[in-house]
Amino acid sequence: MTPVPLVPFLNLHYLYCFIISIFGSKCTAAPSVSLPDITATTSAAVQSAASNGGSFWSWLWPFGSSASSAGSSGSSAVGTAAQSTIWSDLYASMPTFLQSIFDIIYSIVSWVWFLFSWMSWGVASVLFTFILTALVIVALLLLREWQGGAGEERVHARADSKRKLAWDALLNEVLTAEPKRWRAALMTADEWAGELLISQGFTGASTAELLRSVPDDAFISVGSLWEAHRVTNFARAPSSDYVLTQREAYRVMKLYEQFFEEFRFI
């Protein structure tokens, strides 16, 4: 098997190291690589190049110093001696004008590859910058959304806290010794119930009409709300003979509370 010649614009060293690493080997210098199919002449040339300070690159490079000097400045690390007898003889047997043509082609391809490599790095850098920028923007948007959601939760928590305080104050009204304040507390709770029904999509001009539009199985506390509204109507009527006791007022307020708590109103 003839050793593969190095073309400087292809990273054969990397390819070689990658292939042998698949089989558990390590990337070593050329003299320590076992190549049993290479002829004794080639092996002797490899040993000669190694003794002269040749590297892995110089071992792979098939041509002489003529082609090497015709390449880009980045190929100066490639050995100047021809280690492959077959390729060296082939290159040496070429007429001078063919060698010149080969050197020109080699130089052009090397520079084209050199420019292509830098352009590839440039494009990759731009794309990497765009991707990194997009990730940062997405992270900022997610952070803003999370902060906004947390802020809304805090606002709702504050609103719920205010309603809870207002309800506790209203509930304390029926613990006083004044029947008028009991009736006022019941009527306020009934108004709150109407507002909550409207917020749930029910329609009606009053709490009674709103309740008539509510199906019997619309929510769990619909029966408690109906009973609380009925007692409140008796208590608010000036000509009614209904006697509202403090115990009854407190019971009705707790019925309203069941409805409010079901919808997390308080």
Report the b/e string of 52-68 with b at 16+ CB within 10 A: eebbbbbbbbbbbebbb
Q: CB-based burial of residue 32 (10 Å sphere; 0-12 exposed, 13-18 middle, 19+ buried)?
A: exposed
Distance, CA of 23 to CA of 45 (rounded, Å) = 27
Q: pLDDT confidence of 22, banded at 50, 70, 90?
A: low
209, 197 Cβ separation under 8 angstroms? no
* Of 57, 72, 63, the residue nearest 114 (C-alpha): 72
pLDDT at 85: 59
Q: Which amino acid is at 58?
A: S
Lowest mean pLDDT among 53-62, 189-198, 231-240: 53-62
Q: Which of 168, 165, 186 is nearest to 252 (CA)?
A: 186
What is the per-residue pLDDT across 54-113, written as a single tens digit (0 to 9) for each? Answer: 444 444 444 444 444 444 343 333 333 434 456 667 777 778 888 888 888 888 988 898
Q: Mention every residue, 6+ apart, whose C-beta is less than 8 A from residue 215.
A: 222
Name the residue ranges covered by the structural domains of the chain: 12-123, 174-262
Q: How far apart are CA 184 and CA 186, in angstroms?
A: 5
Q: How far is CA 236 from CA 77, 112, 173, 186, 259, in A?
A: 103, 96, 16, 9, 20
Q: pTM for the complete prediction?
A: 0.43
Specify the pLDDT at position 228: 94
Any idea which of 92-96, 147-151, 180-184, 204-208 has the lowest mean pLDDT? 147-151
Phi, then psi, of 22 in degrees rounded to 5: -65, -35
CA-CA distance, 124 to 243, in Å (whole number)?
86
Would you say residue 129 has pLDDT above 70? yes
Confidence of residue 46 (pLDDT cuts 50, 70, 90): very low
At residue 197 the predicted structure's pLDDT band, cuts being 50, 70 and 90, is very high
What pLDDT does residue 99 have? 80
Mean pLDDT of 200-213: 89
Average pLDDT over residues 153-171: 76
Question: Angle at CA 130, nearest 5°, toward 128 and 133?
Answer: 105
2 pLDDT above the threshold of 90: no
Angle at 118 between CA 114 and CA 122, to 5 degrees: 165
pLDDT, residue 126, reads 92
178 alpha carbon, distance to own chain's centre: 62
pLDDT band for 149, please (50, 70, 90 cuts).
Answer: low
117 CB neighbour count, 10 Å cutoff: 13
